[in-house]
Amino acid sequence: MLAGFVFAALLAAPQLDFAQAKALADRNEANLGRLELSQLLDAQRHALDEAVKACANPSAELSRFTVVLSLNPDGSTAGSWLKGQTTFAKCVRERLADTGLAGHWPTPFYTSFELSFDGD
């Protein structure tokens, strides 16, 4: 019961920090059924492929980063958070936030993209 109140309070909070948004994403993703998880992974894969293509350049600094999105029911983005400071990470976040994720999602729905690279 207390966890439900805490979860509701986080959802109602006007400003979440990265850690709070990531915790909500982890919780949302962990509670998906097999079909919903498959749909999410397909939508994430497509959105991330497009973002990386748009942001890639030979001199990009490839450090680990994480993007969290809060989605509206139509897949558009209600909010986004970034843990990482490279130009590439910022570009990927902007592209993901601009495009959202195709599909229909419960509200609020948080999801994350965790990227790491060889040697990272």
The DSSP bridge partners found for residue 77 are 71
Assign 5 a pLDDT band (cuts: 50, 70, 90).
very low
Q: Give the β-pairing of 109-115 and 77-83.
A: unpaired
- Mean pLDDT of the chain, nearest integer: 88
Share of the chain above pLDDT 70, in %: 87
Structural fold of domain 19-29+37-53+63-120: 3.30.1150
Indicate the SS3 state at residue 26: helix
pLDDT of residue 9: 45
Share of the chain above pLDDT 90, in %: 76
What does the pLDDT average to over 3-7? 47
Burial 60-94 (b: 16+ CB within 10 A, else e): beeeebbbbbbbeeebeeeebbbbbeeebbebbbb
Domains of the chain: which residue ranges?
A: 19-29+37-53+63-120
pLDDT digits (tens, 9 = 90+) for 27-54: 999 999 999 999 999 999 999 999 999 9
